[in-house]
Structure 1
Amino acid sequence: MAFFLETLLGGLMAGMLYSLVALGFVLIYKASGVFNFAQGAMVLFAALAMARFSEWIPGWTGIDNRIAVNLAAFLLAGMVMFVVAWLIERLALRHLVNQEGTTLLMATLGIGYFLDGIGQTLFGSNIYEINIGMPKDPMLAFESVFEGGILINKEDLYAALIAAVLVAMLSLFFQKTSTGRALRAVADDHQAAQSIGIPLNRIWFIVWCVAGVVALVAGVIWGSKLGVQFSLTTVALRALPVVILGGLTSVPGAIIGGLIIGVGEKMSEVFVGPYVGGGIEIWFAYVLALVFLLFRPQGLFGEKIIDRV
């Protein structure tokens, strides 16, 4: 039982991190109706900014306190992502209002390649470290309940808690604020939203800013775990099955989908992998996503699209 719970907790913590990356896809899709292929590049760009600023700030200011340096680096990286969001809206999206979804999709592809290139130009292409003080040693919990206790990775636990807090804040933002309701209105119908006075350009800027903050938090967490390198863009690919499973238009779907994928990967690898040679964790999420595409393409919580002709 203890081993089962240990695997379950590991899956839930991994699932929260998947949900965090998937939220970036959902946010952009809800605001513009287009799948944002630049999300992986945004995660990498934000992580590079955080890593490099944390290296440069002590030389600029003489401050050597790690907490102060990390906080300043995070704020500067956040400002950089706001500037990136403003430039994307100003130079690209503003000129593509009411265009076909394919046009917007290609625009996000171009934005992704641009961020990859400019990230190397500004911050370098080496492997960098992000040290935000999360402990990497495992700990034993529930020793009085289970013999030997349950082994929990502290870094995964803290990362999952951070992701959970951000996900909860974003859910409240969408459900309880006037800006969140305006975002949902824009996602439903751009032209109708404009006709009732919702400024489309401002809404797109806000949602790209929020997506930038989500990318920054995701980049910091994954960069702390894996190191900041250009393979970090593939983290977004791990979130694709989450989006398909939960639904492209649903914030709760991104959360539930991430938890299902995380638990499913861990459980299948640990309990089924030994009988089939392992490697299930690599392809499990994509096979599950394929099944949903065949039988429920809108996902668990996505809106079913009906076209009448």
Structure 2
Amino acid sequence: MEWQFFTEVLVGGLLSGVMYSLVAIGFVLIYKTSGVLNFAQGALLLFAALTFVSLAERGLPVWAAILLTLAAMTIIGALIERTVLRPLVNQPPITLFMATLGVSYVIEGAAQLLWGTQVHGLDLGIDDLPLEIGGVLISSFDLFAAAVAGAMVAALTLFFRYTRIGLGFRAVADDQLAALAVGLSLDRIWTAVWTAAGVVALVAGLLWGARLGVQFSLSLVVLKALPVLVLGGFDSIAGAIVGGLIVGAVEKLAEVYLGPFVGGGIEGWIAYVAALGFLLIRPSGLFGAKLVERV
């Protein structure tokens, strides 16, 4: 039936969008507190996936490989903040952006030196078999990925709402000067945020690595997050989630219903067209804070 097919395509797109949201959240965490567009997030994702799969292939138990990779991502996130971003505080945004771009190449080079350049398969033990729910066929791996992403978002929400560091994060995001005035340590908050971005990169890297294989092109997944951020807003976790769902749905529906009229391949670029059009209407995104300048 036509409605059933449409529902399958739509649900598949929404579940794919959850994967995009997970990458975009790493951007939001950094941008919201420091105003830095962290282009190194894709390299962090690659490094996490490559480290995990390389350790697992060397005979380590899965839990040990995850813990070691988590420790590595925590250290890397803290080092980036300490050695690169902290000395560049109050520099122009383009300087900070170029710094993260340079960091991304350094991380990719370090991954190549440590683990080599060969392509790895990553098996999380989840068979990508179709499940029938309400007469609609849904990928079991997509459901698993959506559940993991949802758990990650819930954990981040609880952390930032009920912990001391999380409350400090929210205060810094709202007003850095006011946060300083009440005695909050920006250095400590920024270190915690970069560490959280490393953890998000680990989860996203494992999921994307299981879907696409662990290879150096995996870092380009970061480009998929850009239209998500444009639609949802660069400083909103909720916006990253909604933007990801929109992008995923638009890609799948466009590929199925418009692809035959344009020769296919529309899934690769339609999200950027939608983001460009949205920029003309609402530059701050659906949930992004509007910039107000007083003169």
TM-score (norm 1): 0.90
* SS class of match (2:293): coil
Q: 2:11 is matched with which residue?
A: 9
- Aligned equivalents of 2:105 and 2:59: distance in 1? 28
Aligned-pair distance for 1:270?
1.2
- Contact 1:29 1:36 (8 Å CA) reproduced: yes
- Residue from 228, 235, 251 that aligns with 1:249: 235
- Residue from 192, 197, 204 that aligns with 2:183: 197
Q: 1:99 to 1:109 in 2, by over 3 A?
A: same
Aligned-pair distance for 1:306?
1.6
Q: 2:282 is matched with which residue?
A: 296
Q: Does 1:134 align with 2:120?
A: no
Greater Cα shift, 298-307 or 261-270? 261-270
- Contact 1:171 1:252 (8 Å CA) reproduced: no
- Aligned equivalents of 1:191 and 1:117: distance in 2? 37
- Aligned equivalents of 1:177 and 1:246: distance in 2? 25
- Contact 1:98 1:191 (8 Å CA) reproduced: no
Q: Deviations over 1:3-50 (max 9, x none)?
A: 111111101110100100000000010121111010111100111111
- Residue from 77, 87, 90 that aligns with 1:98: 90
- Contact 1:70 1:132 (8 Å CA) reproduced: no
- Aligned equivalents of 1:282 and 1:105: distance in 2? 25
Aligned-pair distance for 1:151?
2.0
- Aligned equivalents of 1:200 and 1:43: distance in 2? 25
Greater Cα shift, 201-210 or 178-187? 178-187
- Aligned equivalents of 2:220 and 2:266: distance in 1? 18
* SS class of match (1:92): helix
Q: Does 1:159 align with 2:145?
A: yes
- Aligned equivalents of 1:279 and 1:104: distance in 2? 34
* SS class of match (1:139): strand
Structure 2, unpaired ranges of 5+: none
Aligned-pair distance for 1:299?
0.2
- Aligned equivalents of 2:120 and 2:94: distance in 1? 35
Q: Does 1:232 align with 2:234?
A: no
Aligned-pair distance for 1:272?
2.2
Aligned-pair distance for 1:245?
0.4
Q: Does 1:305 align with 2:291?
A: yes
Residue identity (%): 55
Correspondences of 1:115-194 after superposition (within 5 Å) = 115-142=107-134, 149-194=135-180
Aligned-pair distance for 1:139?
2.9
Aligned-pair distance for 1:206?
0.5
| Residue type at the aligned position of 2:229 | V
Q: 2:104 is matched with which residue?
A: 112
Q: 1:185 to 1:100 in 2, by over 3 A?
A: farther
Q: 1:66 is matched with which residue?
A: none
Greater Cα shift, 252-261 or 103-112? 103-112
* SS class of match (2:91): coil
Aligned-pair distance for 1:266?
1.0
Q: 1:266 is matched with which residue?
A: 252
Q: Does 1:71 align with 2:55?
A: no
Greater Cα shift, 205-214 or 177-186? 177-186
Q: Deviations over 1:44-72 (max 9, x none)?
A: 011111111111234xxxxxxxxxx2111
Aligned-pair distance for 1:225?
0.8
Q: 2:36 is matched with which residue?
A: 34
- Contact 1:129 1:224 (8 Å CA) reproduced: yes
- Aligned equivalents of 1:104 and 1:202: distance in 2? 19
- Aligned equivalents of 1:205 and 1:248: distance in 2? 20
TM-score (norm 2): 0.95
| Residue type at the aligned position of 1:99 | Q
Q: Deviations over 1:234-282 (max 9, x none)?
A: 1110111001100011010000110111111111111222233222211
- Contact 1:47 1:228 (8 Å CA) reproduced: yes
Aligned CA RMSD, in angstroms, stands at: 1.5
- Aligned equivalents of 1:291 and 1:177: distance in 2? 39
- Residue from 188, 208, 214 that aligns with 1:222: 208
Aligned-pair distance for 1:99?
2.9
- Aligned equivalents of 1:93 and 1:274: distance in 2? 47
